[in-house]
Amino acid sequence: MPTSIRLPAEIEDRLDALAARTGRTKAYYIREAIEEHLDDLEDLYQAEQAVRRLRNGESRTYTLEEVGRELGLDD
C-alpha cells in the first residue's frame, strides 16, 4: 500500500544525492531506514509500556533468587 510523507528539504536533498550517486531509488533508502529502525522503535515502545506498568503497580520485578526458586534451580 502506498504511503506518502513530507520530508524537510535538507533530507530530500540528501536522499536525491545518495540516490544519484548509487543508482538506487529514494524509496529504496527510505524503506531501508524504516526497516533498520522499526525494531528499535517497537522495543522502545514496549520498554515505555513496561515502565508505565511498573510505576502504576500493574506489574513487578523479580530478583534472580526469586526466579531461581520459582524455577527450582536452588542448590
Q: What is the mean pLDDT of residues 44-63?
A: 96
- Helices 26-55 and 9-22, packing angle to 10 deg: 130
pLDDT at 9: 97
Residue from 68, 51, 73 nearest 60 by CA? 51
What is the residue type of 74? D
Q: What is the mean pLDDT of residues 24-52?
A: 95
Instruction: Evaluate if residue 32 carries a pLDDT over 70.
Output: yes
pLDDT at 75: 66
- Where does residue 58 rank: exposed (0-12), middle (13-18), buried (19+ CB within 10 A)? exposed
Residue from 26, 33, 27 nearest 2 by CA? 27
Q: What is the mean pLDDT of residues 46-59?
A: 96
